[in-house]
Structure 1
Amino acid sequence: MQHEFSLRAEWNTDTTRPHPDRGFSRDVVIQADGPGELLGSAAKPFHGDAARWNPEHLLLAALAECHILSYLYVAGQAELEVEKVMVRGELTLEAGAEGGQVTSATLYPEVWVADAMQLPRARELHEEAHRQCFIARSVNFPVTIEIPNQHQIPELPKFSSRLGAPIAVLKPRQSKKPSQVTGNDDARLAAIRAEHEAEQQRRTNIAVQHTEPADAQEDANATAEQTQAAAQTAQRTNAPAEQTSFYDQVGGEPTFRKLTAEFYKQVADDEDFRAMYPEEDLGPAEERLRLFLIQYWGGPTDYSQLRGHPRLRARHMPYHVDTQARETWLRFMRNAMDTLELSPLHDDTMWDYFQRAARAMQNRH
């Protein structure tokens, strides 16, 4: 027997609510006969409206609702009197070389029954309901069922605009191992290990540059290439977010070295903006920014070891950072980011942070 479902999604230009940087709204309207309209948008990390439903939440909602309805069916078959079913869901979106993809979902179902003696049987039926759920059977990522020990649903996860993936900021679970999407675990782990080893070797080479400048420079260049190649391999194999930081995913130290170099090239060419830097040589400022960004995005913590707590706002207070300075800084950083050719998900994540940071550093109108 075949069933068909239809709806219509529509987007129209809205000049009254354009996105300040990307020039267009992400808002859509979804319509279907019967339920009417559903207001949708992109998730907040992707410049959408947090008050509307985004595709990731809709997908997770479909899995949760499907589980509840499947459970009611199998409970009816078992002649079990159910009073209440509740499901909390988590969905993970990870960045890959070509963008993002959903890699796993976990459902935490609970059931209340009229006869407490039937509770063990009621809990067992979740597995059968999961096997029968049409939506869970249709997706190409693992959907896991984890049944809480007590009748207690944890509070809903808090959501963040950082690192668009995962969608929710969740407390770590002690007993759950990282979700795996494919069977190439060895390849992913080898790529990550190679990247870390290459990064460690590069730092060792830099430490001996003063005594062996020529050889050390050649080695540093070689290991930088190894680091970037390893990062690209990790992206192609979809290394899970629990094992790779944002720093790893975008290419490690060479990416941030290029970013800051391109940024300070523009600073040097802008006489007015250059006046904000009291040092005659921009090299130390470039190094400080590079080390800070590396540490912030999950790389080595050299910045804190050299300079202590970042205290960014306090460090910027002596300088006159007004709206024009903020916009100039963002323009230079946007130009520098464009040279990196990051995936859309990585680019949006990094740019969202820079916009928030620039606003936080402004101390004059």
Structure 2
Amino acid sequence: MHEARVIWQSSGDFAANRYTRGHLWRFDGGAEVKASASPSVVPVPLSDPAAVDPEEAFLASISSCHMLWFLDFSRQAGFEPTTYEDRATGALVSDGGRMWIPRVDLNIRVTWAEAPDADTHKALHDKAHHACFIANSVRSEIVVNLLENTP
């Protein structure tokens, strides 16, 4: 069982829709993260641009899950990544009045102690994508873009 606590306290004029969207995410291991509605959805100062918004967290959870599986499958295959960076992107769109993120792009750059060939590198990402719990839990299309495969 996994758990995340979301904690919000009223501040501002709630009835007039001028209340803070800032809140706290508290995780079972003790980590706390400042969270808020996105400033693109709720203007500052009612949102906090320095906090993580749900859309960013959605992208980060997909990216992180993919990376963790990729690293494990790379290890199992005898390859050693030395750095891994992903700039995950996605955009909210309206679909019949419902907002959602239909596509997530993982824009991944990996460096290696000794790089596998391009087909093996791609296969490791494909295997990671299919193993990722988060990717298997969402209806968004997830596209893996390999930006670089350097030694």
Distance (whole Å) between structure 2 residues aligned to residue 66 and residue 150 of structure 1: 20
Counterpart residue number, 1:46: 41
Distance (whole Å) between structure 1 residues aligned to residue 33 and residue 127 of structure 2: 31
Provide the secondary structure at the position in 2 that maps to 1:145. Answer: strand
| Contact residue 113 and residue 122 of structure 1 kept, 8 A | no
Q: Map residues 235-274 of structure 1 onto 2, 5 A cutoff.
A: none
Distance (whole Å) between structure 2 residues aligned to residue 60 and residue 70 of structure 1: 16
Provide the secondary structure at the position in 2 that maps to 1:76. Answer: helix
**Where is the helix percentage greater, Structure 1 or Structure 2?**
1
Q: Map residues 143-158 of structure 1 onto 2, 5 A cutoff.
A: 143-149=142-148
Greater relative CO (CA pairs within 8 A, separation 6+): 2
- Pairing 1:8–2:1 present: no
Distance (whole Å) between structure 1 residues aligned to residue 144 and residue 90 of structure 2: 12
Q: CA deviation at 1:123?
A: 4.0
Q: Map residues 145-294 of structure 1 onto 2, 5 A cutoff.
A: 145-149=144-148
- Pairing 1:27–2:22 present: yes
Distance (whole Å) between structure 1 residues aligned to residue 83 and residue 123 of structure 2: 16
Counterpart residue number, 1:59: 58
Please list every run of 5 or more consecutive structure 1 residues that lacks an aligned counterpart in the other structure.
152-365
Greater than 2 Å deviation, 4+ residue runs? 96-99, 118-124
Q: Relative to structure 1, is the Cα distance of residues 86 and 63 closer, same or farther in structure 2, using a 3 angstrom cutoff?
A: same
TM-score under structure 1 length normalisation: 0.37
Distance (whole Å) between structure 2 residues aligned to residue 7 and residue 62 of structure 1: 13
What code does the residue aligned with 2:78 have?
A: E
Provide the secondary structure at the position in 2 that maps to 1:8. Answer: strand
Please list every run of 5 or more consecutive structure 2 residues that lacks an aligned counterpart in the other structure.
none
| Contact residue 110 and residue 148 of structure 2 kept, 8 A | no
Counterpart residue number, 1:106: 105
Counterpart residue number, 1:83: 82
Distance (whole Å) between structure 1 residues aligned to residue 28 and residue 140 of structure 2: 30
Distance (whole Å) between structure 1 residues aligned to residue 97 and residue 7 of structure 2: 26
TM-score under structure 2 length normalisation: 0.85
Q: How many residues align?
A: 144
Provide the secondary structure at the position in 1 that maps to 2:21. Answer: coil
